[in-house]
Structure 1
Amino acid sequence: MKVYSLLQKGLMAVLVVAGSMGIQSCQDDDDNRYYVRVPNALVTAKTDADETFFLQLDEETTLLPVNMASSPYDGKEVRALVNYEEVDQASGRYTKAVQINWIDSILTKPIAADLGEENDEVYGNDPVEIVNDWVTIAEDGYLTLRFRTRWGNSSQPHYVNLLRTNNPDNQYEVEFRHNAYGDTYGMVGDALVAFKLDGLPDTNGETVKLKLKWNSFSGEKSAEFDYCTRKEVNPNPEALTSMRSTFKVK
């Protein structure tokens, strides 16, 4: 089986970004071509109320792609990896004007419904490792995760979800669920998924600790993220959609 660490369009280079910095400093043509294959931002791809396609870079910064007249995602909101360059053009109400060299969507999902006693059967509890990486972050109302597990059967999609734990002492506690459908052997590889957090209580402008729990290969683990309910840039966003991933996850 041909294994990809993350996504096809240059994302394997994320694993060696630190090493690539020295190469990029040479500034020759080969270096520049390598640079545009490496993602330099994690964004939310959005369509504004007037159908303008733009990217949310962080809580405050928006990017206007001058070389893309419309969204490649049919107006749906998704998380994506992108390689872009700032350009000296008018950006209107957006923070910066940019040229998009490439953009690749990440599987983007809402928080899953709590099925009670059926959670284990439906959502599974197969082990994963959450990778401490620049793309593992809570921002713009999403929890984006790079996770690592075993992939043996190339035709068997893995099912990943985020559930609320309904912990009475922490309303911002969630758990990552992974159902490999028995595909728990084989080579180790990474994938990305993003979960929209609008199913959590509004933080009312405060930054709180979002606690993530998961079943790892060495037992239960947890991590905390700074989280604040996002301020809507688009007052009428279209429905969330699940986009593709190189690894077969759903």
Structure 2
Amino acid sequence: MKTSRILLGVISAFAVCSFFASCETDESKNETIYPNAIVTIKPINDGAGFNVWVDDKVQGPASNITKSPYGKKEVRAIANIRQEKDEKGMNKIYINWMDSIRTKNAIMPELKAMDWKKYGEDRLEIINGFGTVVEDGYLTLRYSTAITNPKAKRDMNLIVQHSEKEPYKLVLAYNAHGDNKGRFASGLIAFRLSEIDKIARKNGKKDVTLQLHWKSYQGDKQASFKYHVRSDTE
């Protein structure tokens, strides 16, 4: 199950275990039912194995799952995990459950060719809390927006509007395809910042400040994020 769709009220995985259920006894239920991390699932050997990236200090293979559940694709996921050590003291990650987040690349179209009607100018809110984070080469966003039909088509893109004056400007474009009224619902989406990495490396930067712009229900908004450039090219 992916959280790519918008879900009424709260994200489904905040209340249910999926993929790798370890919904244990009542004593441990409250500890495992809610997500305690946002991770990157990094496949190895075409998905025959995988590493779990939790943060710069905590990462390693899963101790209770061998094969990547997402095949060859690297994805972000919400999860309930605990850190373990093997007999050699190496990190391993025990996964109670995890649920993939829709993961896609940020794009950098030519500014002169920007078709805002295509990309969309519908409104949404970015939630400043669990789910919104910049790490491991990704901008992961928790958002909410008004909808009538949870199954209706909708598109979201992160556009890199690079310029000499604003080299790390990002615009979140949302196209609800007409379904932008009704109840508020929330969701998660993750964008790989490969283009930002390329620009930063070209400028000799390892740490940059991202400027995110979006259209909210209160008008145009922006927020700044400190971003550490990902060193690999994935």
State whether TM-score is above 0.5. Answer: yes
Work out whether 1:70 is the aligned partner of 2:74. Answer: no
**Which of the numbers 55, 60, 66 marks the counterpart of 1:58?**
55
Structure 1 44/91 Cα, relative in aligned 2: closer, same or farther at 3 Å? farther
**Does the CA-based 8 Å contact 1:45-1:78 persist in structure 2?**
yes
Work out whether 1:8 is the aligned partner of 2:12. Answer: yes
Work out whether 1:223 is the aligned partner of 2:223. Answer: yes
TM-score for both structures, normalised by structure 2: 0.83
Work out whether 1:202 is the aligned partner of 2:200. Answer: yes
Q: Say how many residue pairs are matched.
A: 217
Structure 1 182/4 Cα, relative in aligned 2: closer, same or farther at 3 Å? same
Quote the Cα distance in structure 1 between the aligned partners of 2:53 and 2:25: 30
Q: What RMSD in Å do the two structures reach over aligned CA positions? A: 2.5
Fraction of identical pairs, as percent? 32
* Structure 2 partner of 1:89: 86
Q: 1:70-120 CA distances to partner (integer Å, 9 max, x unpaired)?
A: 10001210000111123342478xx51121110110000101242645521
Quote the Cα distance in structure 2 between the aligned partners of 1:11 and 1:53: 26
**Which of the numbers 173, 177, 191 marks the counterpart of 2:173?**
177
**Does the CA-based 8 Å contact 1:44-1:56 persist in structure 2?**
yes
**Does the CA-based 8 Å contact 2:138-2:192 persist in structure 1?**
yes
Quote the Cα distance in structure 2 between the aligned partners of 1:229 and 1:78: 18
Gaps of 5+ in 1: 14-27, 238-250
**Which of the numbers 83, 95, 99 marks the counterpart of 1:100?**
95
Aligned residue for 2:8, secondary structure, equals: coil
Aligned residue for 1:133, secondary structure, equals: coil
* Structure 1 partner of 2:142: 146
More off after superposition, 219-228 vs 48-57: 48-57
Aligned residue for 1:32, secondary structure, equals: helix
TM-score for both structures, normalised by structure 1: 0.78
Letter in 1 for 2:170: V
Quote the Cα distance in structure 2 between the aligned partners of 1:29 and 1:71: 27
**Does the CA-based 8 Å contact 2:103-2:190 persist in structure 1?**
yes
Q: 1:11-47 CA distances to partner (integer Å, 9 max, x unpaired)?
A: 589xxxxxxxxxxxxxx94241122111111111001
Shift of 1:144: 0.4
Shift of 1:6: 4.4
Gaps of 5+ in 2: 1-5, 18-23
Q: 1:142-187 CA distances to partner (integer Å, 9 max, x unpaired)?
A: 0000111111123312110100123331111101010000101110
Quote the Cα distance in structure 1 between the aligned partners of 2:190 and 2:102: 6
